[in-house]
């Protein structure tokens, strides 16, 4: 713990919030929201063992941080173009969260981050679909958006095309208001376009039933082909300022196919390995 602990912990809640927001923005976060840990028991949507305070009892605030997924890249999915975009957002998210928690530590607060995704390999999700912590609910409780039919967090800025990470801290920060009205318009584009038909809409609630094993199994296949993840259900969603920026389709069908024909197993399916390349493989890889 930093030697500055005694003085900096006296920062008022408002100025502390502004300081954290400034830091997170400088580190590259597009979206920043604050949730009191009280929101988990208040809302009663997440099982108690998943609450931040059940894991770290000193937690007071969860800072939810989001970075955008570029619409023109995800619209080429499944492709190595989107795969690289996804991998880069993951690296950036973990780095932003690591550095922000570090800054809070220097100011004298307890803080660390819950890594985004947080599973070792997609093959694990085929067998056990739940993660240890839900960044989607953290984002909702931090006022970044509302849950959509497709189980993602829909935001005003990027619809569901945002990836999330959470910083957990004992800093007492003024929480953000929840978004009151559902952003999901129940258009069912996500349902109709899912390649595994994973969603079954329900009449009694907004969130659809989801065959998570089917979705995870498809992801396993895409991973083997170097064009993971899928993301069609978030690519097609009409919600978001980014959609207004790029329009209904930011990529042509021919352009999408073009991107899918390079850099992944899809690009080489059925093609023989050239003789000279085979020679290199035979002599160098044993
Ligand atoms: S595609 Fe339509 S139904 Fe699906 S999450 Fe978006 S707005 Fe909701
Ligand atoms: S990620 Fe793909 S397979 Fe999974 S639910 Fe969304 S559209 Fe369906």
* pLDDT tens, residue by residue, 130-156: 889 999 999 999 999 999 999 999 999
pLDDT value at position 186?
98
* 194 C-beta closer than 6 A to ligand 2: yes
| Full pLDDT tens readout for the chain, 286 residues | 444 444 466 678 888 999 999 999 999 999 999 999 999 999 999 999 999 999 999 999 999 999 999 999 999 999 999 999 999 999 999 999 999 999 999 999 999 999 988 777 778 777 787 889 999 999 999 999 999 999 999 999 999 999 999 999 999 999 999 999 999 999 999 999 999 999 999 999 999 999 998 998 899 889 888 889 999 999 999 999 999 999 999 999 999 999 998 887 766 665 666 676 666 656 765 4
Run of H or E including 68: strand 61-68
Q: Report the distance separating Cα 123 and Cα 126, nearest Å.
A: 5
Residues 27, 173, 112, 155, CA torsion sign: negative
pLDDT value at position 124?
79
* 142 C-beta closer than 6 A to ligand 1: no
pLDDT value at position 274?
65
Among candidates 151, 286, 285, 142, which has minimal Cα distance to 215? 151
**Complete DSSP assignment for 73-136:** HHTT-SSHHHHHHHHHHHHHHHHHHHHHHHHHHHTT--EEEE-SS--S-HHHHHH----SS-HH
Phi and psi for 27 in degrees, rounded to 5? -80, -10
Residue nearest to atom 1 of ligand 2 (CA): 231
Among candidates 197, 203, 206, 260, which has minimal Cα distance to 233? 197
Dist. CA 210 → ligand 2 center (Å): 9
Dist. CA 50 → ligand 2 center (Å): 24
* 188 C-beta closer than 6 A to ligand 1: yes
Of the listed ligands, the closest to the CA of 159 is 1
pLDDT value at position 277?
65
Of the listed ligands, the closest to the CA of 155 is 1
Structure tokens at 187: 């258009």
Dist. CA 190 → ligand 1 center (Å): 6
Residue 273, class by beta-carbon neighbours within 10 Å (0-12 exposed, 13-18 middle, 19+ buried)? exposed
pLDDT value at position 116?
85
Dist. CA 136 → ligand 1 center (Å): 15
Of the listed ligands, the closest to the CA of 182 is 1
Among candidates 142, 166, 131, 110, which has minimal Cα distance to 40? 142
Residue 274, class by beta-carbon neighbours within 10 Å (0-12 exposed, 13-18 middle, 19+ buried)? exposed
Q: Report the distance separating Cα 236 and Cα 200, nearest Å.
A: 17
Residue 183 three-state SS = coil
* 16 C-beta closer than 6 A to ligand 1: no
CA dihedral 73, 77, 88, 153 (to 10 degrees): 90
Beta-carbon neighbour count of residue 115 at 10 Å?
A: 18
In DSSP terms, which residues pair with 35 in a beta bridge? 62
Q: At a CB cut-off of 8 Å and minimum separation 6, what does 284 contact?
A: none
pLDDT value at position 10?
66
pLDDT value at position 44?
97
* 193 C-beta closer than 6 A to ligand 1: no
* 237 C-beta closer than 6 A to ligand 1: yes
Dist. CA 53 → ligand 1 center (Å): 32
* 231 C-beta closer than 6 A to ligand 2: yes
């Amino acid at each position: 713990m930093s030697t500055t602990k005694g003085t900096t912990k006296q920062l008022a809640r408002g100025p502390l919030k502004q300081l954290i927001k400034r830091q997170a923005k400088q580190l590259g976060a597009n979206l920043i929201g604050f949730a009191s840990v009280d929101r988990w028991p208040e809302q009663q949507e997440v099982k108690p063992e998943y609450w931040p305070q059940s894991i770290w009892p000193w937690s007071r605030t969860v800072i939810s941080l989001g970075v955008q997924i570029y619409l023109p890249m995800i619209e080429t999915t499944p492709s190595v173009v989107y795969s690289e975009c996804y991998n880069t957002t993951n690296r950036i998210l973990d780095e932003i969260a690591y550095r922000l928690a570090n800054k809070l530590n220097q100011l004298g607060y307890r803080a660390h981050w819950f890594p985004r995704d947080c599973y070792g390999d997609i093959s694990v999700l085929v067998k056990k679909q739940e993660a240890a912590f839900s960044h989607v609910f953290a984002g909702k409780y931090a006022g970044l958006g509302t849950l959509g039919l497709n189980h993602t967090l829909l935001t005003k800025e990027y619809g569901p095309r945002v990836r999330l990470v959470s910083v957990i801290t004992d800093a007492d920060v003024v929480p953000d208001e929840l978004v009151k009205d559902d952003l999901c318009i129940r258009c069912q584009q996500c349902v109709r376009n899912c390649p595994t038909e994973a969603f079954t809409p329900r009449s009694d609630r907004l969130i659809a039933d989801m065959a998570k094993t089917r979705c995870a199994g498809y992801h396993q296949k895409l991973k083997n082909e170097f064009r993971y993840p899928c993301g069609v259900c978030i690519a097609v969603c009409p919600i978001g300022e980014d959609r207004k920026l790029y329009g209904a389709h930011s990529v042509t069908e021919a352009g999408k196919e073009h991107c899918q024909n390079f850099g992944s197993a899809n690009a080489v399916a059925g093609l023989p390995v050239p003789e000279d390349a085979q020679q290199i493989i035979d002599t160098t890889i044993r």
